[in-house]
Amino acid sequence: MKTLSYLLLISFFMTIFPLKISFSAYSENYSSIMSELGFLNKFSKNAGPPSNGGEQAFFSSRLSATNKNSCSSCHNPKSAWSAISPLSFAFNHINQRSTPSLFHSKEVDYLFWDGRAASLEAQVMEVIENGNEMDSSRIMAAKYALEPARKVPNYCNVSSQLAHKIQKIPNSELSSSKYKNIYNSFSLPEKNEIDKSFACVAHEISIFIRKIPYPDNIWSNAVSTNDFSAIESNNMALSGAKLFVGKAGCSVCHYGLYLSDGQFHNIGIGDIKNQDISDPGRFQALKEMEENPYNILANRFYPEYVKKIKFNISEESWGAFRTPSLLQVRLKSAYMHNGKFRNLYEVVHYYNTLSGSVIPPHHYTGVLKPLKLTSLEEKQLVEFLNTL
């Protein structure tokens, strides 16, 4: 029984972390096997994010014009770096989409559910100036960088002459809906300084996000300690892992260290009433990426982080959203891009039955098929997901 469990575990990691490994490696100890799979070399349980200006800014409400919201308001580390509420909520407005986890943000090329941001820098800048999120502005970011208590590097600061001007502006005038008239009153060189400071603050926050450590779970702990007893004692999770990479086919899209292919798929998730797929998702993002002002700003100041922003557009991208990471998925309060499902049992049951799925007539549906799992197998799959 132990040999079977070990082989299942190895098979699971070989599928999730697809690297070449010879059959003779099965006879080696587990540390060697996991090292060959690239697992041990990538993560250290003690290597948390460094204390820097980006970390401080991520958790600070001072970047918000109202001093009420921070990045962590929607990306809470206790909720898998996602929102505690089912849908992201800010300034008395419930957003159309849920808050995705930040775990694999450093691994994917395009951010947000629809991938409209071609870098973390662009994503952070858009959130700061989004009236339904931070409801702040680039002038507020430049003003924040000047505060003596902030750990933002000096190169993020505007000149002393411009600093004197913006420090006089009340925060109440620097919300996303009000700042533009003030911004447009500045000269072009002053605007350039403000834009540079804005992008710099966003870059510092992006550095912090890219350093979010890999979370502990029974799988990573087994690799770190070479102790597989926690896995051996959870037969339901082991069975679920086998289903995940086998019969259920979850690993077709959820693979790699962050259990996501980073790609965009339409999986038939309609609106709350299952009437249609009203959110165009990736289709609309592709139409707008090249003209997205935050992609343009990020490309101007941090081009090394910006990915391709010009694409051919196909109807196939309608209603497609990025595959989320499954790390700590048990801690999330809602699932799918619109928060439609409130627990993992609902998610697994949807994939199992495709009950309520909505597919546009023009969309390819070959990947989506009912899994025909038994009730026990659904529970096993959920138990595995709960261990990630």
Which residue is it, tokens 């003779």?
Answer: 24
Instruction: Say whether pTM exceeds 0.75.
Output: yes
Nearest alpha-carbon partner for 2 in 160, 213, 325, 228: 228
Please state which of the ranges 2-11, 46-55, 211-220, 307-316 shows the lowest mean pLDDT. Answer: 2-11
- Give the tens place of pLDDT for each residue, 263-316: 998 888 876 666 667 788 899 999 999 999 999 999 999 999 999 988 888 888
Nearest alpha-carbon partner for 364 in 267, 278, 295: 267
Residue 335, SS3?
A: strand
CB 98 within 8 A of CB 87: yes
Query: How far is 71 from 296, CA to CA, in rounded Å?
Result: 22
Residue 103 corresponds to which amino acid?
Answer: F
Share of the chain above pLDDT 90, in %: 38
Residue 40, SS3?
A: coil
First to last CA, the chain: 23
Residue 217, SS3?
A: coil
- Give the tens place of pLDDT for each residue, 131-165: 888 899 999 999 999 988 888 888 999 999 999 99
Q: What integer pLDDT is reported at residue 41 of this predicted model?
A: 40
CB 107 within 8 A of CB 262: yes
Per-residue burial over 349-372, b if 16 or more Cβ lie within 10 Å, else e, is: bbbbebeebbbeeebeeeeeeebe
In angstroms, how far is CA 340 from the centroid of its own chain?
A: 18
